[in-house]
Amino acid sequence: MRAKDAPRLGAIRLLQAAIKQREVDERIELDDTQVIEAIEKMLKQRRDSISQYEAANRHDLADVEKFEVAVLQSYLPQPLTEAEIVELLDKAIADTGASGVKDMGKVVAAVKPQVVGRADMGKVSGLIKARLGG
């Protein structure tokens, strides 16, 4: 606020409103994991909007959404590298005793709490499937 950075302040206020809305709706106080999930949900919405705006040739609106994505990403934990993800997957596969694609759910359940907010679950699921021979 003191820096007079209105666009950044607007993005932060949107995040605060989303968190407060979820707390009121569910009558709970969000913990860190749930706040990260809320940020990820907002990021997904922004990315969807960017693709729609660019398809409609509205680059001015897409630029606003891209700025909000950058602001929101600054509140997420440091993303995992591909090597770190593979290491986590190998450990989870060994711990769960997964032997094929039919055991993918066990591995996802073991890995998800460790990667939430730090990696794209779609990408992680693809890596799990590849590791399990799918």
CA dist 31 and 22 (Å) reads: 12
User: For residue 120, how many other CB atoms are within 10 A of its CB?
Assistant: 14
pLDDT tens sequence across 59-80: 999 999 999 999 999 998 898 9
Query: How many whole angstroms separate alpha carbon 132 and alpha carbon 57?
Result: 42
- What pTM did the predictor assign? 0.74
Write down all domains in the chain, each with its CATH number in brackets. 6-73 (1.10.1510.10), 82-131 (1.10.10.410)
| pLDDT one digit per residue (tens) for the chain, 134 residues | 778 889 999 999 999 999 999 999 999 999 988 998 899 899 999 999 999 999 999 999 999 999 999 999 999 889 899 999 999 999 999 999 888 889 899 999 999 988 888 888 889 999 999 988 86
Q: How far apart are CA 82 and CA 54, in angstroms?
A: 29
